[in-house]
């Protein structure tokens, strides 16, 4: 099998694979994995593409979402690859959001979901700096809302308050003052 795999590496790929300079990575996939990618993106090797606003990470993340229906393990590998390709904090944030959604759907992956949400929260200051270069106001930040639900459920109200204050200080859209008051009230009631 190694012999045939080495022959496959010599094959030239076109389409999105060539456009995003993913030939080596793609050649290293198993034939089954490439077949799954062709199933969800039929022109992955053949589409005549000269421009797209998508990044390689966004493209692979899109494929991973579709592949998840057939092979959760391979989808996870694809999401990880997509995340590793994204250097821009805004693009990385969206890749993390997609990965968090993937893990949320996998009931057995609560620990991985929590890890991804924490990583996204750590990215929040860099995201905010990058976002305001192009837009006037910061949007909401789903990872913060997700983590607040978890912290409330765990009863870690001081940490929830600190997270609200951090998001508020960065200018992330949200009703932070209301949430802080509510959390402080809950602490007093306990």
Average predicted confidence (pLDDT) for the chain: 92
Q: Residues 155-169: pLDDT tens digits?
A: 999 999 999 999 999
Average pLDDT on 39-60 reads 94
Average pLDDT on 13-36 reads 95
C-alpha to C-alpha distance for 8 and 2, rounded to whole angstroms: 10
Residue 155 Cα distances to 24, 53, 114, 160, 169, angstroms:
48, 43, 16, 9, 23
C-alpha to C-alpha distance for 116 and 106, rounded to whole angstroms: 13
Percent share of the chain, pLDDT over 90: 86
Question: 3-state DSSP call for residue 138?
Answer: coil
Residue ranges of alpha helices (H) inside 68-156 are 72-85, 89-105, 110-131, 142-154
Backbone angles phi, psi at 55, to 5 degrees: -90, 170
Q: Residues 114-160: pLDDT tens digits?
A: 999 999 999 999 999 999 999 989 999 999 999 999 999 999 999 99
pTM for this predicted structure: 0.84
C-alpha to C-alpha distance for 91 and 57, rounded to whole angstroms: 8
Q: Residues 1-14: pLDDT tens digits?
A: 455 554 455 567 89
Residue 78, token pair as written in the block: 């694809």
State the pLDDT at residue 4.
Answer: 53
C-alpha to C-alpha distance for 117 and 127, rounded to whole angstroms: 14
């Amino acid at each position: 099998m190694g012999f045939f795999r080495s022959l496959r590496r010599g094959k030239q790929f076109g389409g999105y694979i060539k456009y995003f300079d993913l030939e080596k990575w793609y050649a290293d996939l198993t034939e089954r994995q490439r077949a799954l990618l062709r199933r969800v993106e039929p022109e992955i090797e053949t589409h005549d593409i000269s421009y797209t606003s998508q990044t390689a990470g966004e493209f692979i993340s899109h494929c991973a979402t579709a592949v998840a229906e057939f092979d959760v393990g391979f989808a996870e590998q694809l999401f990880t690859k997509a995340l590793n390709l994204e250097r821009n904090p805004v693009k990385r944030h969206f890749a993390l959001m997609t990965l968090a959604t993937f893990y949320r759907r996998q009931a057995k992956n609560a620990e991985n979901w929590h890890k991804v949400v924490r990583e996204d929260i750590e990215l929040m200051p860099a995201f905010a700096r990058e976002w305001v270069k192009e837009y006037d106001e910061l949007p909401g930040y789903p990872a913060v809302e997700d983590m607040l639900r978890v912290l409330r459920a765990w009863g870690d109200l001081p940490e929830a308050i600190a997270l609200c204050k951090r998001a508020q200080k960065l200018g992330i859209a949200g009703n932070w003052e209301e949430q802080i008051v509510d959390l402080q009230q809950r602490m007093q009631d306990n």
